[in-house]
A and B are shown apart, each in its own frame.
Chain A
């Protein structure tokens, strides 16, 4: 029972990865920079670090009433546990996005769109694994139409400490470029397939 205009997103991982922050930034982008409505709720256990955690985001052009996400249309997994626990909830024709170094994904529902990225590795290359969530946000923004990319980028820069803005901008762009490249590649493939 969701309204058609609502987009339900579930971001999962473990405590300390910035999963809640990622949800917060996504919601902020929609609400403040993209003129939409959003809610962000969180699931967490008693652990501050290491435990499984999830951030549920709903984005809509209308009022959002029921803020829980039961059947996400977009599932982002940054931990194996987050994947195992939640993969079954992903809706038909949904989008599944994961960090390929952290999640070993099995066979998927053929109706899903699937994208993976070594987000944590990219963040490490940029100097700090803590930015994996930002890399992932850039990637999500590129491959899935949730909010305008510029709105999300602005929300990222608005949410991180001033002295890390530059690095986080790089992290975001890295994820976004990687996503855009994948889309381009697939478009090419499809074109060549069409030709064939």
Chain B
């Protein structure tokens, strides 16, 4: 039973399937979902693989039910996940908020397709980036990861579960149709090589336990159902006991901690994969599938003698604010390619704070950003500098 959960070996596998294998390897044993292109392959493989690993797959009546069941299973002490795409992600928003407020570890994988509305079900986009950040009402912090290959679907799914258990919140994997459907080499390591972060459990007896009394890092130990703690969990604003308290002071305590537990640990959460940054004067910042085009363009630019660099965002939320702030003053330009009309570029602009120009290379969905388009932007930024010199 346990041996089958980690399918150690080398595969030519698509991203959706790699996501499943990552989940199973890190101990996910519950999946509730609803079919939607291009995330259906995740549900299909989970339905086949979970019973082999002693877990349960259930196909719910809609995405509202899927995410609710995932939260319920997580409180039942089981690592749980769901997967979806744009329309389903929209439907899940309210209960992602419940997961944030009740601090419920779980993973949601959004294999993005082009919107708005039904949009292009079978074609790629990166249009849900801001929705991942702000889609549920109220103010909160999230963690979202952006894989750019099937291998990263495997690796980041493992990390998503570990982060969700460590910081107690739904962690979102922002994949896309191309990553989901693309086959590439996926190496699944041996079981003992996989890092698994466990759930922090209460260390005091039930009568002394306060379910939302946090440790110094802002995260509270979690008592699951049936462990004798008999706690109350609510989406209402609650105090340390988990009891609803309807006043501004409790609201401040609670939301401040929900935000602080992410912002205060951002150095442990944020990961970027940087290339050629040391001497770069033009930096392409990219994530997900577009980061591959970006790397292609940056290599081309380097071969032309342009000092281009690359920041590949592995975590898109929280955003690497400090890195951008430090870099921006020494740069001629920051460039962000994304398959939307400009979402993460807003964050890039905010962090650059006017210290250097920020350029968007946009594709509105249905196809990938060609490396040539990014290279053009790099060249333009490069020439822009020469022009200025002449003017001077």
Contacts and interface: CB of A to CB of B under 8 A. Distances in A.
B183 A39 contact: yes
A181 interface: no
A31 interface: yes
Contacts of A32: 10-12, 185
Contacts of B375: 1
Q: How large is the interface on B (under 10, 10 to 19, 20 to 34, 35 or more residues)?
A: 20 to 34
A66 B370 contact: yes
B388 to A, nearest CB: 28
A27 B122 CA distance: 22
B373 to A, nearest CB: 10
Interface size class of A (residues with CB under 8 A): 20 to 34
B41 to A, nearest CB: 12
Contact of B12 (A38, A42, A46, A67): A38
A40 B178 CA distance: 10
Interface stretch (B44-52, B250-258, B290-298, B320-328): B290-298
A68 interface: yes
A67 B182 contact: yes
Given A1-B371, A1-B372, A65 B183 contact: no
Q: Is the interface of A mostly helix, strand, loop or mixed?
A: mixed
Contacts of B121: 46
Interface string A1-26: 10000000000000000000001100
Given A1-B296, A66-B292, A38 B185 contact: yes
Contact of B181 (A27, A42, A46, A64): A42
Given A27-B12, A32-B10, A67 B292 contact: yes
B294 to A, nearest CB: 9
Interface of B: 10-12, 121-122, 178, 181-185, 292-293, 295-296, 299-300, 367-368, 370-372, 375
28 contacts: A1-B300, A1-B371, A1-B375, A23-B183, A24-B183, A27-B12, A31-B12, A31-B184, A32-B11, A32-B12, A37-B184, A39-B182, A39-B183, A40-B12, A40-B183, A41-B178, A41-B181, A41-B183, A65-B295, A66-B292, A66-B293, A66-B296, A66-B370, A66-B371, A67-B178, A67-B182, A67-B184, A68-B370
